[in-house]
């Protein structure tokens, strides 16, 4: 113990203190200021997005993405101030990112698909769409999946990667949808009267739009019937209810007007061979 040079140790401590502590204090101060500055920038960006009526889901996603990007840049700057080479940190980050990317290829594809959907908006909440063989009303557009509610009240969850790369039919964009129905009547029916009866059914329902005008016409001279197309227009939200009601109302109205809806029939002739 008597051989310890306390003066040398104290000098060494002072050298370390004056060499590293100012950099540490400056790094901590930079971190504090940087985090507060990032918080202020994120607040201003959120106000900007709100003023421009940016979709809520997209707004949250962009704020999160920009926030993490600025924080990564801030931490890289602090590491450099402390003497850590940014290239070493970036190499480690890049290797980790590659490993994570390979393990989460499907998830990243869904993430990218969600970004594209939020940016280009082929559909939004409340739209009636047909995608990936499923028909339903959009309940929610998330970053990774889109949630639909089918006419049977089934919840359908579709990955955004498939949605972004597949065909999408949006029935709501134009604000109106046509209900296509085909009703066959007998060949001896009065076609003029038939059209009047069907037109009266369409015009008597307040859900049927007056513009465009509903269509009733002959579409085909089939084997057993004269096929009439019945095509009212409506808002997408009432599509299924209107279609079901129209089929029932048209059937009842034709019955009341003594207009026959035929069904396929076959005549069978029996030949007696007993006398031959």
Question: What would the mean pLDDT of 38-57 be, rounded to a whole number?
Answer: 81
Beta-bridge partners for 177: 234
Residue 46: count of CB within 10 angstroms of its CB: 15
Pairing of strands 233-234, 177-178: antiparallel
* For the ranges 92-96, 175-179, 253-257, 266-270, the one whose mean pLDDT is highest: 253-257
* For the ranges 10-14, 86-90, 99-103, 196-200, the one whose mean pLDDT is highest: 196-200
Degrees, nearest 5: CA angle 220-221-227:
55
Q: What percent of the chain has pLDDT over 70?
A: 78
Domains of the chain: 6-103 (1.10.287.1260), 122-170 (2.30.30.60), 177-256 (3.30.70.100)
95 is written with which tokens? 């290797």
Distances (CA, A) of 113 to 63, 116, 126, 140, 260: 18, 5, 19, 15, 52
Of 133 and 62, the structure prediction assigns the larger pLDDT to 133
The lowest-confidence range among 4-8, 133-137, 191-195, 207-211 is 4-8
Name, in order, each residue with C-beta under 8 angstroms of 82's C-beta and a sequence gap of 6 or more: 23, 24, 27
Of 43 and 251, the structure prediction assigns the larger pLDDT to 251
Residues in the chain: 276
What are the pLDDT digits (tens) for 7-42? 666 666 666 666 667 777 888 888 888 889 988 988
pTM score, two decimals?
A: 0.56
Nearest 10 degrees: CA dihedral of 193, 196, 200, 202? 120
Alpha-carbon distance of 123 to 25, in angstroms, equals 51
Of 87 and 117, the structure prediction assigns the larger pLDDT to 117
Res. 229 pLDDT band, cuts 50 70 90 = very high
pLDDT (0 to 100) of residue 85: 63
Beta-bridge partners for 130: 135, 169
Enclosing H/E stretch for 88? helix 86-103
Alpha-carbon distance of 200 to 214, in angstroms, equals 10
């Amino acid at each position: 113990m008597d051989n310890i040079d306390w003066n040398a140790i104290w000098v060494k401590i002072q050298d370390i203190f004056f060499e590293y502590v100012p950099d540490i204090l400056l790094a901590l101060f930079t971190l504090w200021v940087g985090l507060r500055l990032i918080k202020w920038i994120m607040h201003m960006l959120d106000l900007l997005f709100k003023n421009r009526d940016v979709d809520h889901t997209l707004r949250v996603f962009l704020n999160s993405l920009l926030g993490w990007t600025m924080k990564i840049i801030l931490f890289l700057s602090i590491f450099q101030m402390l003497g850590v080479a940014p290239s070493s940190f970036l190499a480690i980050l890049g290797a980790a990112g590659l490993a994570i990317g390979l393990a989460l290829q499907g998830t990243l594809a869904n993430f990218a698909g969600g970004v594209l959907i939020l940016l280009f908006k082929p559909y939004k909440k409340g739209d009636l769409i047909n995608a990936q063989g499923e028909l339903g009303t959009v309940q929610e557009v998330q970053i990774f999946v889109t949630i639909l509610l089918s006419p049977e009240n089934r919840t359908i969850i579709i990955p955004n990667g498939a949605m972004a790369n597949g065909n999408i039919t949006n029935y709501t964009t134009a604000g109106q949808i046509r209900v296509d129905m085909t009703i066959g009547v007998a060949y001896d029916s009065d076609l003029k009267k038939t059209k009047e009866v069907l037109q009266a059914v369409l015009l008597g329902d307040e859900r049927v739009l007056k513009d465009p005008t509903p269509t009733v016409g002959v579409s085909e001279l089939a084997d057993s019937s004269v096929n009439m197309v019945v095509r009212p227009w409506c808002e997408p939200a009432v599509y299924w209810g209107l279609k079901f009601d129209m089929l029932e109302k048209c059937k009842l109205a034709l019955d009341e007007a003594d207009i026959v809806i035929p069904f396929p029939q076959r005549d069978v002739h029996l030949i007696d061979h007993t006398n031959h």
